[in-house]
Amino acid sequence: MIFAKNRMLGLLTGGLFLFVSCQSGTKQEEAKSNLSDSNQIGNQMAQADAGLLGSDSGIVVMETQRNTTHLLGFWQQMPLSGIKEAIRINAQLIVNRIVEDKYKMEGGLTVLYKEIPDVGSLDVFIGIPVKPRSPKQVAKLSDGFVLEVLDSGTYVKATVNAEPGSTLLSWKAFQSWMKKRGFTNQDVKNTDNYPYFEYFQDSRNAEMTTTVSQAVLIMKKPR
């Protein structure tokens, strides 16, 4: 959940507003205030890239250092193709809960997997990075909400052209790229390298005339 400065800002302004409709009354104003805060601290989420590892078959792979991240959201089971609709349904619920529990929004919507996505049903977490008001003021979770923790450490990320629910081939290409270059062992189970996550952003083509949907796929750098 999992990252260059302009693209991270794209995450905050594009990835979340793509799926979240405006709130009314006080919640609307508070959510806008939180999102404004998250834009200002976007640089804190986007840790400095250690360097370009390579590119191939439409993906650009980089190494990045990340601090511990807390994601507030839901675990669900669904095929990868169902993620776009799940985001549409759940994004506003998550924003409402952030406002209600007075969390501080730390970034844009993130999709988390227990293993590298494949065909069939998957365990999928849809959430938003948050920060409690203080370590002693963590709200009690209910209604299916979960606070997932992504540990700090060295991660590898691949930027691809893909929309939510359409990243399966990109994940396979990413995994293949890692294996070919000796980053992962063929015998290692997908679940041994948890977490795997992605977020989405928009970018412009070279002529600045067309918006291109991008996904940033992230996994822990294998030891």
Tokens of 219: 């996994």
Averaged pLDDT score across all residues of the chain: 76
- The predicted model scores a pTM of 0.71
Placement of tokens 């006080």 in the chain: 26
Closest among 20, 60, 61, 64 to 38, alpha carbons compared: 20
Placement of tokens 């200002």 in the chain: 40
**Number of Cβ atoms within 10 Å of the Cβ of 151:** 12
* pLDDT of 13 higher than 50: no
Q: What CATH homologous superfamily does 5-220 map to? A: Regulatory factor, effector binding domain (3.20.80.10)
Across 50-75, average pLDDT: 85
pLDDT of 221: 86
CA distance 127 to 67: 17
* pLDDT of 44 higher than 70: no
* Least confident interval from 189-198, 204-213, 214-223: 204-213
Strand residue runs (E) in 80-184? 104-105, 110-113, 121-131, 146-150, 153-161
Q: Where are the alpha helices (DSSP H) in 19-114?
A: 25-40, 42-45, 83-100
pLDDT of 6: 41
- Locate the domains of the chain by residue range: 5-220
DSSP string, 107-119: SS-EEEESS---S
pLDDT of 11: 39
pLDDT of 12: 38
CA angle 115, 117, 123 (to 5 degrees): 60
CA distance 157 to 145: 27
DSSP designation for 190? G
Q: How confident is the model at residue 182 (pLDDT cuts 50, 70, 90)?
A: confident
Across 115-137, average pLDDT: 87
* pLDDT of 30 higher than 80: no
Closest among 162, 203, 164, 156 to 183, alpha carbons compared: 156
Q: How confident is the model at residue 60 (pLDDT cuts 50, 70, 90)?
A: confident
CA distance 221 to 219: 6
* Least confident interval from 91-100, 148-157, 188-197: 188-197
Phi, psi of 213 (to 5 degrees): -80, 130
Phi, psi of 16 (to 5 degrees): -80, -45
pLDDT of 210: 56
Higher confidence at residue 108 or residue 183? 108
**Number of Cβ atoms within 10 Å of the Cβ of 49:** 14
pLDDT of 2: 39
* pLDDT of 19 higher than 60: no
